[in-house]
Structure 1
Amino acid sequence: MLSYFKNIKGDKAIWGIVALLALFSFLPVYSASSNLVYVVGNGTAVSHLIKHAFLLLLGFGIIYGVHKIPMHFFKGLSIIAMPIVLLLLGYTLAQGKTIGGANASRWINIPFVGFSFQTSTLAAVVLMIYVARYLAKIKNKVVTFKESILPLWLPVFLVVVLILPANFSTAAIIFFMVLTLTFLGGYPFKYLLGIVGTGIACLALFILIAKAVPDLFDNRIDTWENRIANFFNGEDTSEDYQIERAKIAIASGGVLGKGSGKSVQKNFLPQSSSDFIYAIIVEEYGLVGGLVVMFFYLLLLFRIVVVANANPSVFGKLLVVGVGLPIVFQAFINMAVAVELFPVTGQTLPLISSGGTSIWMTCLAIGIVLSASNKNPVKEKKVVDESNPLDVLSEQL
């Protein structure tokens, strides 16, 4: 075990932040799992805690393995992984799973292991690496919009379109993160305005077709409309019930909270161990606990910016921002939903909420950031190992 610690590389502050968030997660997950046990009738609190520990252990294994991969390998890996991701997204959507008549095709079952996998989370990480690779390639070059359509925007729109029918919030976050990365990467702003307009037009067309021909394909448009409408007018619905319970939990927490495991609303709040776990944290640990959690995510953001700024390569800078920024962005969306600053989205709190895929993909992204934070990163101009196909492909791309 000590040999593993000696081999840990990369930004030690990020390692520490991630470890502290993961260790802290055991307390609210164990407490909130009582909702699954006594209300839903699913397992025991200990079994959920053991499952969470297993998922985190595997997640840290992913971090350790990925952070040992040289940063430039991710260029070639993104090219290889992109068509695989598109096939997985297509297969996931084609399953046609529905809940209450709405499209719920978000997961695929992994044979023999009893786990389901949310393909959109993998797609998000792969796409951000792919976009970072392209932006690094065209840096200091004059590229027309027409030249960037096929290599950049076609994969982006394919990923978003395949995720959109089943998961609007994830599709919107991915699209926004891509726009943010391309802006930071120096892609012409006038072209970005055209992409935003095209995206809005495509979304409007999708909604119009779904409304005009509701039997054409399953979708969640009614759910989107209800959540947005409820956010603005406060009608009593299931989503409004979640928000009201979350606000009761936060209000009853006070400054110092009720104490670990003493939440009352965890027994009434659906998804209390995942989507609304921040409300349980504030109820049990108060305003102080909620601010401390927020502080650690801000600290993680600060270290991501430091690592990106310190990396000597353009690809390294964009890679760190591309895979690191969505982690913090998702965390603040989760917190904003709990305090009704944002409509219900179904986004988990990274490294704290229960759930396998979200933990693993967050750990994958963190491993990539740590790979780029190694003290001796690979320069843009390097000696290519001709015997390594990924090295050759990375250099060519």
Structure 2
Amino acid sequence: MVLSRFSVIERALTLGGLAPLALIGAAPQHQDGRITELLPPGYVHNSVAPQRQVVIPAPTPLVTDIDRLVAGFGGKVGVAVKSIDAGWMVSKNGDVPMPQQSVSKLWVTLTLLDQVDQGRVRLDDPITITRSDLTLFHQPIASLLKNGVYNTTVRELMRRAMTMSDNTANDRLLRHVGGPSAVNAYIARHSLGAIKFGPGERLLQSRTAGLTWRQDYAMGRAFQAARAKLPPNVRQAAFNSYVANPIDGAAAAAIANALTKLRRGELLSPASTAYLIGVMESSRTGHARLRASVPPGWRLAHKTGTGQDLMGRTAGFNDVGILTAPDGRAYSIAVMIGDTSRPTQERQKLMQNVVARVVAYHDSEAPQRVMAQ
């Protein structure tokens, strides 16, 4: 019975691209039959009670590095790095809510997969997209509508939302799972902390621009044209209001903790955990952000987010993810740039530098880990 349970978990993790498990000797069990030692470092299935951990202080060199990167950047920035295995966290402005933008697609997908785990939704359920479903900005699915209709599945919409950041795909999934209230209920139920899910793409973007949403804004560049006609003071007031108190605001530390819970298997079933991490590892967005500093042999499962621009500022420029080393150890990383006038390449460089510092710390600790074994 123990081996069959192990094989199910191992198969799910392998399919999702996670580090393979090593079975050494008999599987240790608690008296009530729960298994913890069979799982890889940092991974705890949500049916297993998390074990009490000794609080380990964050490594001083990494704390110093992250502090310097953020202090030298300028603007409203939050960075958090958490060791999924050891449990320590490095956080700089990590408790300040920042605009999430498309990072929030992650919470829609988690809510969806939770409903899959409950048997309420199937990934292969059919869904029809029509012109009335279209949103704005990045929505490549719009080109697939023939005669105003595109027939697809829940699985395909989720893949598009997470790997292409397709806004229409995500908003359609959002309605499928029960709307913003269902997503916020999932966040609250799992105690994910300072994370808010906003009203969906249409209302979020129109409010940020100072507009009231109309469905005809979804066609072509109608939204951009309407926005350009607004008086500059109206646009600036709406932009500033959103950045100061984002309706979809989330703190970097809360996101890093949520990603840690995901990797440990505390948010979804083993199969859904492996599936989602595999999808996030195949993301096509943000190649010049966190991913640009990921060395060969390492893996990154991530989600980007980018808001509207106004006078050289961007209402949210983000990348969050799970960075896994060749030895299987993993780190959750969240870099949230809420407001800055620094050029895009410098924002990307900040994200790359965070990954580079984490990798350097991990490599510097490798000899000590080998000696400890």
TM over 0.5: same fold?
no
The interval holding the TM-score normalised by the smaller chain is under 0.3
Higher strand share: 2
Larger RCO of the pair (alpha carbons < 8 Å, separation 6+): 1
Task: Name the structure where helix makes up a greater proportion of residues.
Answer: 1
What's the TM-score, normalizing by structure 2? 0.27
> TM-score scaled by structure 1?
0.26
